[in-house]
Amino acid sequence: MLRIKAVALLLVLAVAACGCGAEQDTAGADVAGYTLNMHEAGNYIIVPEIITAAGAGPKWSIDVYREAEPATPVQTFEVDYVNAWKDNAFTAEDINFDGYPDFRIAREGGGVFYRCSCFVFEPESGGFVRDVALEQLGNPVFDAENKLVFSHTPGNAESSDSVYAYLNGQLTEMARRTRMARIVDGAAASADDVGQGEWLTREMIYTVKDGALIEMGRVEYADADTPEEFANSWNRILASLKRSFSDIAPVMVYDPGSRLADYEVMTADGVRPGMTEDEALALIGEPEEVIDNAPGVRSILKDGIHYGFYQIDDSFSADYPLPRDGNFYLLNITAAESCFDPLPRGIYIGDDIYAVLGKFPSRDSTLRQWAHQMLYGQDEAGAPRAFLQFTTILGSYRLHAVTENGYVMTVY
């Protein structure tokens, strides 16, 4: 699990609501501004001030001092001042999630849109540098807890939302949602001219595998067709990204020559077979759907995963290492097409089938398009085994793996 250093950020002198800068002592004995704790580099003091040059508009003048040497600034920046309307025009926070506080100043905007001039601390040089990539983002929001950056660009005919993460030190787009007006008589109608049903939505979702960025999915639909599904889909993507980057899970080591073990069957939420229904719900949150399939059999759907629960009491015929106390226990986990999370052995929905087979001791890796093709184990109830099912309607395979204790993982 990766953790960033704690960031201590002390506001020494509050900037006025209009964004005006703090005063400083010209003698250099004391400097009033924002004090940022740079750990081993010591404290830095950031003093933003609005200045007006003759014949020119107002600018931000930003002086950077080392607290140990307050007489002379070690760096000075100038930024056009165009956002007097924005209360938090100057903000000090860790915007690249490296453990060191940075600062940004709102610019280039109006009432609903702005960009920022972004200055990130560079430990190697002991100073601040402009971050050009972050400065391109509209209305940026920095989520330090989940190490994600959110961007929103509004518009009459088209608007977009993006989610970014840092991969190998580079700001990388992980998901994008674009809403645009349908073309009417050769032109894009504005929001004032069309109703909700006239808007199209496109979503593009990315993920990372083996250090490479790949596209996971691309969809397009009219908002009026599936407005609720649209919201759920985007929220599901955000939840998946937050799980991926807030606490990066250690890579699970496995032997591709071994059968799937009980301990390997676990979702990105930490849900694993053998849990009670209440234990699983505490991890996955509010389900999207709950289905009572039959007496003593219940299904829960969440984020593209189907959880199969069975009530285990004295009447339950199968033999599982679980108490017969009448509780519903999770025995089956099925991942469908809308699941974007990593699955056991680093499998993702949409993976090449041969790559998936290479993660198991497959005795027959030739794709035969059979309704039932054994990969390993004995094809009998209670035996640990894995097999493929080919569906002619979808033209795709399903992988079923049964562990030693009878828990089932299915990947569509």
Query: What is the pairing mode between strands 199-209 and 158-167?
Result: unpaired
Lowest-confidence segment of 241-250, 345-354, 362-371 by average pLDDT: 241-250
Lowest-confidence segment of 22-31, 103-112, 132-141, 246-255 by average pLDDT: 22-31
pLDDT at 306: 95
Query: Which of residues 155 and 387 earns the better pLDDT score?
Result: 387
For the whole model, what pTM was predicted? Answer: 0.52
Strand partners, 374: 387
Lowest-confidence segment of 10-19, 160-169, 238-247, 361-370 by average pLDDT: 10-19
The burial of 309, by beta-carbon neighbours within 10 Å (0-12 exposed, 13-18 middle, 19 or more buried), is given as buried
166, 170, 169, 136: which is closest to 153 by C-alpha?
A: 136
* C-alpha separations of 282 from 14, 58, 144, 211, 338 in Å: 41, 53, 24, 31, 22
Q: Return the sign of the alpha-carbon dihedral for residues 262, 265, 266, 271.
A: negative
Indicate the SS3 state at residue 49.
strand
Q: ∠289-294-299 over CA atoms, to 5°? A: 25
Mean pLDDT within 289-297: 95
Q: Which two tokens stand for residue 346?
A: 């680093």
pLDDT at 270: 77
Mean pLDDT within 32-48: 83
